[in-house]
Structure 1
Amino acid sequence: MTLACGLDFGTSNSTMGLVRNGVPHLMPLEGERETIPSVIFFGFEDDRVRFGRDAVAEYVTGADGRLMRSLKSVLGTSLIGDTTRVKARSYGFVEILGIFIAELKRRVEAGLVEEVSRVVCGRPVHFVDDDAAADAEAQNQLEAAVRAQGFSEVAFQFEPIAAALDYERQVTSERLALIVDLGGGTSDFSVVRVSPERARAADRAGDILATAGVHVGGTDFDRLLAMARVMPELGLGTRTRDGKRHLPVAPYYDLSTWHRINRLYNAQTLRDLRGTRNEAVAAERVEMMIELIEDRLGHRLVGAVESAKIELSDHPRTAFHFPVRDRAIETAIGVEDLTAALENAVGRIEATIGETLRRAGVDAGGIDSLILTGGSTQVPAIARRLEALFPAAELVRTDVLGSVGLGLSLDAKRKFG
């Protein structure tokens, strides 16, 4: 006998769920934990491949190896054709995606008698903004990675629709809901009619009044905060000694972007940075960036920025300290700095919400329930803006990391039985 599951392969975290006795459950993927960070670490010292929290913990010890994170962000982009070198072997990104998905399947099946061979995968409303061909290719790339791991039947469902299916289990009357799904790589929005009666229908297409999405998410927030408050400590925004130009922005952008950091670890980048240092007014700052790249500390740096962002959810200010050899990057970051850094991104989110409502033919006052899912809805500056847009709506905070996986498992049961 084979089983059907829901797979929420996320930019930051992943889950897999099954329906048992009519009730969806997330399966343990890392010890007893039902979520696993979407991270792989290829160890050079012991030739082991580690996943999730174990991968991050090994990397943080300073072990020699290659960390891969934000894997989903490369789908549909030119980076998908790149390879990453792991000792004597080069891996393509689709192959790396497959390694991670295969490990999730193995861990789920380890606790079951049956094989899991049918799957509904979550997908953002848009993998790629304003490019239908690239968006379709992104789904094809993910499907290829999934099928290669032994899934014989593969279907897809929009992630915000999956969140609606999970929420619908608790409603007692018909509601018009706006699902706001702010993930690690994308922000998706759907206006959906939900009710106990509608939940029993096999075809829900008529209940989805509108969907829209924008390629902005938590990893973008990390990048924006890094560019605003941390990269200036490494020379961003400073000038050459002749005063004619600013230092090149590209290496700072790459250093702030999870899935681009590995591109900096090559001899040509270091030669270019040394040339920049020789011309720079703030040469000591660029020297620290060179040391940081020589020591391959890029992912640790952005991880520290992410931790600062999370700390600002509970505190008005945080002291950022990141050691680089015999010195450190040090700066104070306040909630107001985070709010300013995210202003344009939040504006794009608000504009996309407005477009979703327009497509649905409703205004903000017509929304009964505002359903927030995805880890980035916990950023205070964003949550406050969303609540202000819908003051009359019931605010529903889901299991921000689990609701999509639960909804996908319900959809898998409906599609495959």
Structure 2
Amino acid sequence: MYIGFDYGTSNCSIAHMLDGVPTPVAVEGDNIYIPSTLSAPTRESVTEYLFRFCQIKPSDKIGEDLLRRALAFNHDEGIELEARDVNFGQAALNHYLQDPQFTYYVKSPKSFLGSMGLRDIQIRFFEDLVCAMMANIKRQGEARLGQTIDDAVIGRPIHFQGRGGVESDRQAEAILRQAASRAGFRHIEFQFEPVAAGLEYEASLTEDKNVLVVDIGGGTTDCSLLQMGPSWKDKSDRSASLLAHTGERVGGNDLDIHISFRQLMPALGFGSKMLSGIEMPITQFWNPVAINDLPAQTDFYAKENMAALRMLHKEAQQPEKLARLIEVYQEILGHGVVRRAEEAKIGLSSAATYRATLDFLRDVVELDIQQNDMMNAIEVPKAKMMRLVSDALEQGGTKPDVIYMTGGSAKSPILKAAVAQVLPGVEVVSGNDFGSVTAGLARWAQICFR
């Protein structure tokens, strides 16, 4: 059978067609969404887990070398890996929060797939990481459906996160394809995520319209201007209906990161001064929360950075705040800070004030965040998102009849108002913020594999 597979930056989900209707499949207990997270005792445990418990072998000699290194490392460290040691989704997050110092934790690996400068062995590791997550979701879906899932249409952004342009996109899609193939999918197709979301909206149209799809996901924002409606429905070639595409590495995770940086990191010393009167270096507060930036994370958690943090603590006018930053370093708590910012973002969508609690620190910190504070914090990523909307309109050369907003961050009243300001007078409609892409991918899978 076939499915639509949304391997998202924040969440993953799958759907199949049942009596002509896209139907989601539970993939984590009774939940149809599973957070895009993984935890394991060590980084190397991911590769060993695939080989030992999923019977998934490396795809080439580089992968075989990665496996040999992983087995040797875990053996030397005295780690006897069991299947239950590798967790996915909410279980992975819970495990990380309980024991962050001794847990290898990854959120949103999709964010790194387009990174340039990766060595071949690093690419194979990312392939293993994605493969483990896909294999888990495939296994859960098959258990629910009672059937083997052979074929999948996988969603992809217009542009993956990466500075290499077309080469970044090519690398990321190749990793996804190879990972899906190793996970057991026989036939694999890709579809742009905003196009997939539009296909779901198209099912409700009774007349042809120009539709601007604004898909604000966890890692990227994608805009597609499409001709949609009854005359296009079920066509296998939609190239003539695609009037414009824009996309960039800016999404819901960036909103969380900017809220973390501007509103939470001051409690850890951001904006404070050294005894000399000089302000603390910004990068020491940006890097720990820049969870979608591999070089930033590497720099902050590098062993040599500990000496720099201790020097800042010694020279700080408010050393108690720098002590918290050192704790974030020692306990690898950057993801925890961003998680609290995400909760604040959600809370402030419907309230004027939100109290954020950094309760994973030894010295628990409580901070009140105002909605205006959040709006100021996210101004930079919001402006980038709106530029993508404007660029799509310019590229398409026509005004849409309707704006269809989808994606996890599309429910934000701040972003909805911003889009409406770019196109005053054009109706803005919302779909299933998380499920539109998955449903559209299932519809496209029916066209590809029927």
When normalised by structure 2's length, the TM-score is 0.84
- SS state of the match for residue 306, structure 1? helix
Partner of 1:304: 340
What is the SS of the residue equivalent to 2:424?
Answer: coil
Q: CA separation in 2, counterparts of 1:325 and 1:110?
A: 39
Which among 86, 101, 110 is matched to residue 72 of structure 1?
110
Which of residues 6, 26, 32 is equivalent to 2:30? 32
Q: Hey, what does 2:73 align to over in structure 1?
A: none
Deviations 1:179-209 (A, max 9, x none): 0000000000011111122103221111111
Amino acid at match of 1:98: C
Is 2:399 aligned against 1:374? no
Q: Name the SS of the counterpart of 2:188 in structure 1.
A: strand
The 5 Å alignment of 1:313-328 reads: 313-323=349-359, 325-328=361-364
Aligned pair 1:60/2:109, yes or no?
Answer: no
* Inter-CA distance 278–211: structure 2 relative to 1 (3 Å threshold): same
Partner of 1:278: 314
- 3-state secondary structure, aligned to 1:377: coil
Does residue 223 in structure 1 map to residue 257 in structure 2? yes
> 2:305 maps to which residue?
269
- 3-state DSSP class of the match of 1:255? coil
Identity across the alignment (%): 30
Name the SS for the 2:448 alignment partner: helix
Compute the displacement of 1:80 (Å).
Answer: 5.5
For residue 251 of structure 1, the aligned residue among 279, 284, 289 is 284
Question: Does the CA-based 8 Å contact 2:269-2:280 persist in structure 1?
Answer: yes
How far off is 1:415 after superposition? Answer: 1.2
Q: Which residue is 1:201 aligned to?
A: 235
Mapped partners of 1:16, 1:324: distance in 2: 33
* Paired position in structure 1 for 2:173: 139
Q: Tell me by how many angstroms 1:414 deviates.
A: 0.7
Inter-partner Cα distance in structure 2 for 1:57 and 1:105: 22
Q: Is the 8 A contact 1:292 1:324 kept in 2?
A: no
SS of match in other structure, 1:271 = helix
Give the alignment partner of residue 5 of structure 2, picking from 4, 7, 16. Answer: 7
| Range with bigger deviation, 388-397 or 305-314 | 388-397
Question: Which secondary structure state, in structure 1, belongs to the residue aligned with residue 444 of structure 2?
Answer: helix
For the residues of structure 1 that align with 2:155 and 2:118, how far apart are their CA atoms? 19
**Cα offset for 1:15?**
0.8
Equivalent position to 2:381, from 339, 345, 351: 345
Aligned-residue offset at 1:331:
2.5
Preserved CA contact (<8 Å) 1:40 1:50: yes
The answer for the alignment partner of 1:122 in structure 2 is: 155
Following TM superposition, by how much is the alpha carbon of 1:99 offset from its aligned partner in structure 2, in angstroms? 0.6
Provide the rounded CA distance (Å) in 2 between the counterparts of 1:325 and 1:25.
42
In the other structure, the counterpart of 1:155 is 189
Structure 2, unpaired ranges of 5+: 43-78
RMSD value over aligned CA atoms? Answer: 2.4
Q: Which residue does 1:88 correspond to in 2? A: none
The 5 Å alignment of 1:75-94 reads 75-78=113-116, 81=119, 92-94=125-127
Aligned equivalent of 1:237: 271
TM-score normalised by structure 1 residue count: 0.91
Give the match's secondary structure for 1:395: strand
Which residue number corresponds to residue 107 of structure 1?
140
SS in 1 for 2:275: coil
Cross-structure match for 1:407: 440
Question: 1:196–1:120: structure 2 CA closer, same or farther, 3 Å change rule?
Answer: same
Between structures 1 and 2, the one with greater strand share = 1
Residue-by-residue CA offset, 1:346-387 (whole Å, 9 max, x unaligned): 11111111110111111xxx3211111001112222111112
The reply on whether 1:386 has 2:419 as its aligned counterpart is yes
Shift of 1:296: 2.9
- Cα offset, 1:154, TM superposition: 1.6
Contact residue 115 and residue 164 of structure 2 kept, 8 A: no
2:192 maps to amino acid? F
What is the number of equivalent residue pairs in this alignment? 406
Q: Are the aligned partners of 2:202 and 2:233 in contact in 1 as well (CA < 8 Å)?
A: yes
Q: Distance in 2 between matches of 1:222 and 1:390?
A: 26
Letter of the 1:227 partner, please give it. F
